A = this chain, B = another copy of it.
Amino acid sequence: MTVKALALNGTLKSSNSSEKSSRGKLLQLIAEEFKRHGVETETIRLADYDIKPGVTSDEGGGDAWPEIREKILNADLLVLGTPIWLGQPSSVCKRALERMDTFLEETDDEGRMVSYGKVAAVAVVGNEDGAHHVSAELFQALNDVGFTVPANAVAYRVGEAMGSTNFVDLKRTPKAVQAMISMLARNTAHLAGLLKRSQYPGEEG
């Protein structure tokens, strides 16, 4: 039983940008670690898609969300990656969360959202300060829309106060960051497997 992961990169820059994404680097490190636990990862960059503002599953007019939503529902685990701007998650990341708001009403006969049984983890990269708050907002929003959050479900990198070094430009991954990545992958893969074999019970008729 293979566990499938979807990683969403909430960077503000599309793939056409000449700049490399620090989020992309962190998500790649996580995907490599997942492989060791038998988890296959597909990564997509949200800024490459035209995701309309709204809180329904399809806002029409070429809305790219239905395609991404389908990928989320086909995966067993979701990794949501985001940069930090002003100490907070990116608008691109927030847009994706908003679009998941509709899971609240997409329930089966026993009251379970379409996301039930899926686990979520968070990857945050900034030049400085903000990772704990970003993970707080993401954990809460993802939990509200039905995801389960494994122990130590965040990997992050930030520099010193007012720092300006990009993660993608560091020569080597700091040891503390690598330790978080390993822990995240190990715990997330374990819990996704458990829940895949044993889904949450529904409401009693």
A interface vs B, CB < 8 Å? 12-13, 47, 53-55, 85-92, 94-95, 97-98, 101, 111, 113, 115-117, 128-133, 135-137, 139-141, 143-154, 156-163, 174, 176-177, 180, 182-183, 186-187, 190-191, 194-195, 198, 200-201, 203
Contacts and interface: CB of A to CB of B under 8 A. Distances in A.
Contacts of A133: 87, 130, 132-133, 136, 140
Contact of A131 (B95, B101, B129): B129
Contacts of A182: 203
B141 A87 contact: yes
Interface centre among A13, A55, A85, A200 (most CB of B within 10 A): A200
Count of chain copies = 4
Interface centre among A90, A116, A145 (most CB of B within 10 A): A90
Nearest to A155: B161
Given A53-B92, A116-B151, A148-B148, 17 more contacts: A55-B85, A86-B141, A87-B133, A88-B94, A91-B97, A91-B98, A129-B156, A139-B140, A140-B140, A146-B151, A148-B191, A158-B161, A161-B177, A162-B176, A186-B200, A186-B203, A191-B200
A144 B152 contact: yes
A133 to B, nearest CB: 3
A149 B146 contact: no
A90 B86 contact: no
Contacts of A145: 86
Contacts of A135: 140, 143
B111 A86 contact: no
B151 A151 contact: no
A135 to B, nearest CB: 5
Contacts of A115: 151
Given A130-B133, A159-B160, A160-B159, A86 B91 contact: no
Contacts of A195: 191, 194
Interface centre among A111, A132, A145, A162 (most CB of B within 10 A): A132
